[in-house]
Homo-oligomer: A and B are copies of this chain.
């Protein structure tokens, strides 16, 4: 196992210490239970937006805490749901009196633990709404999931909801933005290599030198099919076809095109992926009006990519363009 780590059991704590040293102007890191909140939390009168999930997907979610995006993020152990007490303490820490939105990726453990935290928070008088993102068109029902998995649309939903909350929209309105993103976002990913969970010490799955996995999950869950390695253009066709043919895209729609790296894939390859994805979207009559290109929802050092399309409208465009100031995404400030 070749990684820049110390003891496997210290990976998450030491990562959080690094974030605390690096970004004390933007965030505060709490330990035991572990969560990251924006430095000025709680913001009175503003809906708070929280997400969380297993570690190993950085910068998601901790890197998206700050003005214009998340109020808090709860990192679990690597590829392991955070515990209810993490979400509960984070919910209490960021509650500014206007309610708290939980953005949850569709994995069974995450849903169960977020639900428990929401119930406990409500018992303490905090208004909580939860929206579950399930945008992965690759497979229905998977290793850790009933229904579709939650992947790239989560990043986009966090940006949009964070901007809506900054405008002082109500909890219901911010949750509506999230529900709309969930309805209008579609993703699919693939892997060239496996990743290795630090405390396991060996690759999550075996993938021979001439093979790739199409429809991979962000924890290395099996995808749709394993095939001989193909060209980037052919791979992008295999990802874009199921995304575009799934509801709800039609010619003339404006979309955001998000090309994501899985952690071990360099930017030069992501632009080659973007090139073909853009051409396919355009061929279908879609108008790519915004994009995001980089490694934002990762699977440790896995090599591979995922593509997300999100249908945009005037409200989404304004929310996307609004200022954001986080360690992982920043513009306008």
Which of B4, B232, B331 is close to A5, meaning CB atoms less than 8 Å apart?
A: B232
**Which residues on the B side are within 8 Å of A15 (C-beta)?**
268, 271-272, 275
CA distance A14 to B275 in the complex (A): 7
- In the complex the two chains form, is B265's CB within 8 Å of A301's CB? yes
Interface stretch among A56-64, A83-91, A107-115, A242-250?
A: A56-64
Task: Give the shortest distance, in Å, between A14 (CB) and chain B (any CB).
Answer: 5
Which of B209, B264, B266, B271 is close to A22, meaning CB atoms less than 8 Å apart?
A: B271
Chain B CB within 10 A, most for which of A4, A212, A235, A331 = A4
Which of B4, B19, B291, B305 is close to A232, meaning CB atoms less than 8 Å apart?
A: B4
Q: Find residues 266-290 in chain A having any chain B CB closer than 8 Å to their own CB.
A: 266-275, 278-279, 288
One digit per residue, 1 when the CB lies within 8 angstroms of any chain B CB and 0 when it does not, for chain A 1-37 equals 0111111000100111111011000000000000000
Task: Give the shortest distance, in Å, between A219 (CB) and chain B (any CB).
Answer: 14
CA distance A271 to B15 in the complex (A): 5
Which of B235, B269, B331 is close to A333, meaning CB atoms less than 8 Å apart?
A: B331
Cβ of A131 < 8 Å from any Cβ of B? no
Cβ of A172 < 8 Å from any Cβ of B? no
Cβ of A293 < 8 Å from any Cβ of B? yes
What is the predominant secondary structure among interface residues of chain A facing chain B?
Answer: mixed
Task: Give the shortest distance, in Å, between A293 (CB) and chain B (any CB).
Answer: 6
Cβ of A95 < 8 Å from any Cβ of B? no
Task: Give the shortest distance, in Å, between A36 (CB) and chain B (any CB).
Answer: 12
Q: A265-B301, A278-B18 are in contact. Are A6 and B56 (CB under 8 A)?
A: no
How often does this chain occur in the complex, in copies? 2
Cβ of A192 < 8 Å from any Cβ of B? yes
**Which residues on the B side are within 8 Å of A301 (C-beta)?**
264-266, 269, 303
Q: Find residues 290-320 in chain A having any chain B CB closer than 8 Å to their own CB.
A: 291, 293, 295, 298, 300-301, 303-305
CA distance A333 to B304 in the complex (A): 31
Interface CB pairs A-B, < 8 A, 12: A4-B192, A4-B270, A14-B232, A14-B271, A14-B275, A18-B271, A18-B278, A22-B274, A264-B264, A264-B265, A295-B295, A325-B331
The tally of residues in A whose CB lies under 8 Å from a CB in B reads: 60
**Which residues on the B side are within 8 Å of A209 (C-beta)?**
2
- In the complex the two chains form, is A298's CB within 8 Å of B333's CB? no
**Which residues on the B side are within 8 Å of A304 (C-beta)?**
4
Task: Specify the chain B residue showing the minimal Cβ separation from A78.
Answer: B268
**Which residues on the B side are within 8 Å of A233 (C-beta)?**
6
Task: Give the shortest distance, in Å, between A132 (CB) and chain B (any CB).
Answer: 25
Cβ of A229 < 8 Å from any Cβ of B? yes
Which of B18, B265, B293, B333 is close to A275, meaning CB atoms less than 8 Å apart?
A: B18
**Which residues on the B side are within 8 Å of A272 (C-beta)?**
4-6, 11, 14-15, 18
Cβ of A42 < 8 Å from any Cβ of B? no
CA distance A6 to B55 in the complex (A): 32
Q: Find residues 58-82 in chain A having any chain B CB closer than 8 Å to their own CB.
A: 58-59, 63
CA distance A229 to B317 in the complex (A): 47
